[in-house]
Amino acid sequence: MASTFFSNPEPNQGFHWYNSTNTYFPVIYSNLKVLFEESSYARKIILNRPHKLNSLTYEMISQILRKLEVYEKDPTVEKDFTNGLNSLGKGKAFCAGGDVVGMVFTINKGHWSFGASFYKKQLTLDYMFATSRKPLVSLINGVVMGGGAGLSMSSMLRVVTENTVFAMPEAQIGLIPDVGASYFLSRLPGFFGEYLGLTGGRLNGNEMLACGLATHFVLSKDLPLLEKALSEVASWDASTISRVINGFSSKISLKKDSAFRRLETINKCFSRKTVEEILSMLENEAANGDNQWIIRAISSMKSASPTSLKIFLKSIREGRTKELNDCLSQDYTITCHMIRRSFNSDFFEGTKAKLLEKAKQPKDKIEVQEEVVLV
């Protein structure tokens, strides 16, 4: 069965929807944040909140969960497609993550337990994606961050394009790269996962395929034909579906300034035991040459929450030997502490500064001790 996330290309039209067969049909969707499409063998899940970069709300996650439970039990369904694709090319995002601003507003008006409930449901969805009995394909044609990464990286097959931009910038707002990041980032070559999680560094589709975050690279112009082909595959054999995608795949080439070409230096710096040692190594490397990517990495780490950096570093190191469900459980525990302000108020200050006021740094950043205990 295939689930596909789409960002709706015409958010203000509310009557016509463009599907993968290049035809229009009438459907009232203006208030629907998730759309579901069915064919003989496949099911599509279409994210429809483009004005918010398809950020996930509690209601959207709940809807997807209910549908996936039905699809899992449906014997006629062979595969699922999850697709953040905008078929008309006007959208910018697969999914930019969970609706953090909305969650913070709700917590401030009510109780931290709402944030915990939201997050628990999101992690449950991630785990369902990862453990689905039927092949799940994510077509990632745009920005994918945070919660969007949690969904797509949990998919068996992950298709990226020239429009894809991946990042896990949670430390900038006082959270940690979560939704299983300590699992899927820790499986990347060397210490590239530490680099991505600590700096929030961005990757394009080519880099995602090269490092292993993606399984296929397909040009965006070929996605409609790929969707049609996938919908017609009467099999839930992953290798069969992968071969279909291979028929549309394109070769990639990394840019000269790609961070993945700097893996040797990244391993040298990000293999250090502490955040302070990592920063010191980066500063030494920057002093030895004109390395703009290192300067950006240093700047990003210094503008992030020190608590978040330290917790994530410990989390990803432990994640290398843990199963996904253990990583997700730990993510839940850590995030609950953060939204309860058990450590500090970095999350609320960071959200206010970076997402609400667009300031450059949260005020009154709190330093923490080197030892951080995860419970």
Alpha-carbon separation of residue 162 from 52, 150, 207, 230 (angstroms): 21, 20, 10, 20
**Helical (H) or strand (E) element with 270:** helix 263-270
DSSP annotation string for 104-160: HHHHHHS-HHHHHHHHHHHHHHHHHHHH-SS-EEEEE-SEEEHHHHHHHHTSSEEEE
Q: Label residue 220 by pLDDT band (50, 70, 90).
A: very high
Query: Is pLDDT above 50 for 180?
Result: yes
CA distances for 54 relative to 9, 36, 176, 328, 371, angstroms: 12, 15, 20, 22, 37
The predicted structure's pLDDT at residue 77: 64
Q: Kindly list the distances between the CA atom of residue 343 and the CA atoms of 166, 307, 315, in Å, as whole numbers in the listed order.
A: 28, 8, 16
| Nearest-angstrom CA–CA distance, 350 and 356 | 9
Give the separation between CA 86 and CA 142, rounded to whole angstroms: 8
Could you tell me if 214 and 160 are in contact, meaning their C-beta atoms sit under 8 angstroms apart?
yes
Question: Of 163, 7, 18, 132, whose CA–CA distance to 70 is shortest?
Answer: 132
pLDDT value at 267 more than 90:
yes
pLDDT recorded at residue 331: 96
Q: SS3 for 2?
A: strand
The helix/strand/coil state of 295 is helix
Provide the pLDDT for residue 78.
Answer: 54
Instruction: Return d(Cα 92, Cα 96) in angstroms, integer.
Output: 9
Summarize pLDDT for 329-356 with one digit per residue, the tens. 999 999 999 989 888 888 888 888 877 7
* Band (100; pLDDT cuts 50, 70, 90): confident
Whether 290 shows a pLDDT value over 80: the answer reads: no
Tokens representing 60 are 């959207």
Tell me the C-alpha distance between 13 and 354, whole Å: 31
Give the pLDDT of residue 139.
Answer: 93
Q: Which of 124, 73, 31, 41 is nearest to 325 (CA)?
A: 124
Given a contact cutoff of 8 angstroms between Cβ atoms, the answer to whether 229 and 222 are in contact is no
The confidence band for 6, taking pLDDT boundaries of 50, 70 and 90, is: very low
Q: In terms of Cα–Cα distance, which of 193, 38, 161 is closest to 91?
A: 161
C-alpha 192 chain-centroid distance: 16
Q: How far is it, in rounded angstroms, from Cα 358 to Cα 138?
A: 31
372 pLDDT more than 60: no
* Confidence band, pLDDT 50/70/90 cuts, at residue 80: low
Cβ atoms 285, 294 nearer than 8 A: yes
pLDDT computed for residue 216 by the predictor:
97
pLDDT digits (tens, 9 = 90+) for 105-157: 888 887 888 889 999 999 999 999 999 888 899 999 999 999 999 999 999 99
Q: Report pLDDT for 358.
A: 61
Q: What is the pLDDT of residue 20?
A: 33
For 13-45, what is each residue's pLDDT tens digit? 332 222 333 333 333 344 688 988 888 778 888
Amino acid occupying residue 315? S
Which candidate, 301, 229, 190, 267, places its Cα nearest to that of 20? Answer: 229
Q: How far is it, in rounded angstroms, from Cα 363 to Cα 349? A: 7
Model confidence at 359: pLDDT above 70? no
Q: Is the pLDDT of residue 99 over 90?
A: no
Angle at 353 between CA 347 and CA 358, to 5 degrees: 140
- More confident of the two residues 328 and 365: 328
Residues tagged active-site: 98, 147, 170, 178
Tokens of 65: 């969960």
Q: Is 375 helix (H, G, I), strand (E, B) or coil?
A: coil
Listed range (16-20, 44-48, 197-201, 246-250) with the worst mean pLDDT: 16-20
Q: What is the mean pLDDT of residues 240-249?
A: 95
